[in-house]
Amino acid sequence: MARLPRRKDKQGDMKPKFVVPTTYNAGDRKEIETEAAIDDVKFKIIKFNSRYRPQPSQTVIIPAFSEFGCETLIPLYAIPKLIQERYNGKYVIVMGWHGREFLYKHLVDEFWEIDDDHQNLREHCRAFHHISSILAKVEKHASEFGKVITTEEVSNIFTYPEIVSCLVNVKGSTCTGRVSRFADYQQCLKCGSKYLPPGFFNDCNRAKKHVKWLPNPNKDKMERAKNELLPNAIGITARARKCYGRNLPSEFYQNLINLVRDLGYNPVWLGEKSTTLPCPDENVFCPPPSDFEQTLAYVSHMAFTIQFWTASTRLAGLVGTPYILMESPDQIFGTGQEGYRLHLTTKGNKKLILSHYRKVLENPDKALEVCKKAILDVKSNDFSTIMGLVDSEAAIQGTIRSKFSKINWF
């Protein structure tokens, strides 16, 4: 809670002085760190074709500094839609995280790759946006080279609401006409005012008709992955982001590694060094994470992947490999976005374990029992969603029924 200490003004009266309160992660209750200063932000420019970069008026720059869960939606949906509907023929540049060129090379003219030394900035990213003053300055400077697409323009593609009643001010009064939904827009039937079309999260089945999937990893990388992986390989990603704090300890992952070995699988440690827990077992294969295309090649040859409260499911989902995810019920069927995002980024099968983070943290042995059941289910081709460690199964079932009554996307 913020303290309001009192101080005297020039007349001697006491006045309150506001002190900024400390903020904490919702998951582990740890204090959220402030952003460290960076004097010089470095980029590498990667050109994908021989096209000459034109004047800024003919150049579009799309920042992709978001969390991985939304970052993957940008090449699948946002960039194709933006180019087709608004910026066809423009010279398109994406600014993004280190090692991500494979996400964009089939879509745009250039990729401006931020230096690996700046990966700590990812801790200041949220869904489709960031809270980094450093990245904000970078984007402002980029406007000298072309039109910078705003976060709002990208996020509206997914989250823009479905308008029911018009709220446009017409001749001094508010129009309350009914708004109808058309193919590419929403329009008031009374005053004719137009709105953007509802975001893809409002109609995931419609969105899937517009998806542009990533190309397959090249043959050399696929062959390398096939030769380096042991039979029955499965990928494990151990989230270690400071943001949100939904991380599990090394002991949990060591026990998980032991579990999957007992079940006949060979674990592979996936993830980037800046956001992933170091592997606790020296006998586990840890492929270098710097080559995103090669990582996708490894995942293509795996039986499945398993992860907890993390968007690393996208690695499996993008190449059609099954995955197991333990996630909060609210993120899948409640007010969170993860359910929509999973649906839009998954080619193959998925097995969801609905669990509350705090209960898993307090009962790791029970959580591993649920993981064992999920793995055995996947082994027998059962991908139905199961309850893990939750407070009330009845309440969650009610939320699921309510969700299904409104939208059939899952």
For every residue of 218-231, which 3-state class applies, written as one string? Answer: CHHHHHHHHHHCCC
Q: Could you read off the pLDDT of 60-104 as tens digits, one per residue?
A: 999 999 999 999 999 999 999 999 999 999 999 999 999 999 999
Residues with Cβ within 8 Å of 7's Cβ and at least 6 positions away in sequence, in order, are 14, 15, 16, 17
Q: Give me the pLDDT at residue 187, please.
A: 96
Q: Give me the pLDDT at residue 383, please.
A: 97
CA 183 to chain centre: 27
Rounded average pLDDT over 261-270: 98
* Domain 43-158 coded CATH 3.40.50: yes
Half-sphere exposure of 77 (CA within 13 A, CB side): 27
Rounded average pLDDT over 241-255: 89
Strand partners, 113: 44, 96
In this predicted model, which residue has the larger pLDDT, 198 or 23? Answer: 198
Identify the helix (H) or strand (E) that includes residue 397.
Answer: helix 393-406
What are the tokens at 290? Answer: 């710097």
Q: What is the CATH number of domain 219-406?
A: 3.40.50.2000
Q: Give me the pLDDT at residue 35, please.
A: 76
Q: Give me the pLDDT at residue 40, please.
A: 87
Identify the helix (H) or strand (E) that includes residue 372.
Answer: helix 364-379
Q: Could you read off the pLDDT of 209-240 as tens digits, one per residue?
A: 889 999 999 999 999 999 999 999 999 999 98
Number of H helices and number of E strands within the chain? 15, 18
Q: Do domains 43-158 and 219-406 have the same CATH topology?
A: yes
Rounded alpha-carbon distances, angstroms, from residue 222 to 7, 138, 265, 298:
67, 36, 20, 7
Distance CA 374, CA 334 (A): 22
Instruction: Spell out the domain ranges in the chain.
Output: 43-158, 161-198, 219-406
Percent of the chain with pLDDT over 90: 72
Tell whether the model's pLDDT for residue 343 goes beyond 70.
yes
Answer yes or no: pTM beyond 0.95. Answer: no
Asked if 273 contacts 240 with a C-beta cutoff of 8 angstroms, the reply is no
What confidence category does residue 36 fall into, taking pLDDT thresholds of 50, 70 and 90? confident
Q: Give me the pLDDT at residue 10, please.
A: 56
Tell whether the model's pLDDT for residue 409 goes beyond 50.
no
